[in-house]
Amino acid sequence: TGRCVVAVDGPSGSGKSTVSRRLASALGARYLDTGAMYRAVTWAVLRSGVDPQDAEGVAKVAGETDLKIGVDPEAPSVTADGIAVDREIRGPEVTAAVSAVSAVPAVRELLVAQQREMIDAAGRIVVEGRDIGFVVAPDADLKVYLTASAEARAQRRSVENAADLTATAADLARRDRLDSTRAADPLRRAPDAVVLDTTALGIDEVVVRLRDLLTERR
CB 13 within 8 A of CB 172: yes
Asked whether position 130 contacts ligand C5P by CB under 6 A, the answer is yes
User: Binding string, 52-91, against ligand C5P, x = CB under 6 A?
Assistant: ----------------------------------------
Return the number of the residue (4 or 131) whose C-beta is nearest ligand C5P: 131
Tell me whether residue 25 is annotated as binding: no
Considering beta carbons, is residue 162 or 215 the nearer one to ligand C5P? Answer: 162
Q: Which stretch binds ligand C5P (CB under 6 A): 52-60, 71-79, 96-104, 192-200?
A: 96-104
Q: Between 2 and 180, whose beta carbon lies closer to ligand C5P?
A: 180
Interface with ligand C5P, residue 198, by CB under 6 A: no
DSSP run (H or E) holding 129: strand 124-129
Distance of CA 151 to the CA centre of its chain: 20
Name residue 90's amino acid: R
Strands of the sheet containing 194-197, edge to edge, are: 30-33, 124-129, 4-9, 142-147, 194-197
Name which position in 45, 67, 98, 118 contacts ligand C5P (CB under 6 A).
98
> Reading across the β-sheet that carries 77-80, which strands appear in turn?
67-70, 77-80, 83-84
Decide if residue 179 touches ligand C5P (CB under 6 A). yes
Instruction: Please say which residue, 6 or 98, places its beta carbon nearer to ligand C5P.
Output: 98
Measured between alpha carbons, how far is 189 from 171 in angstroms, rounded to an integer?
Answer: 22
Residues 42 and 22: their CA atoms lie apart, in Å, by 26
Nearest Cα residue to 44 out of 122, 127, 138, 107: 107
Binding residues: 10-18
Q: Which residues sit at the interface with ligand C5P, rule CB under 6 A?
A: 12, 34-35, 38-39, 98-99, 102, 129-131, 175, 179
Binding residues for ATP: 10-18
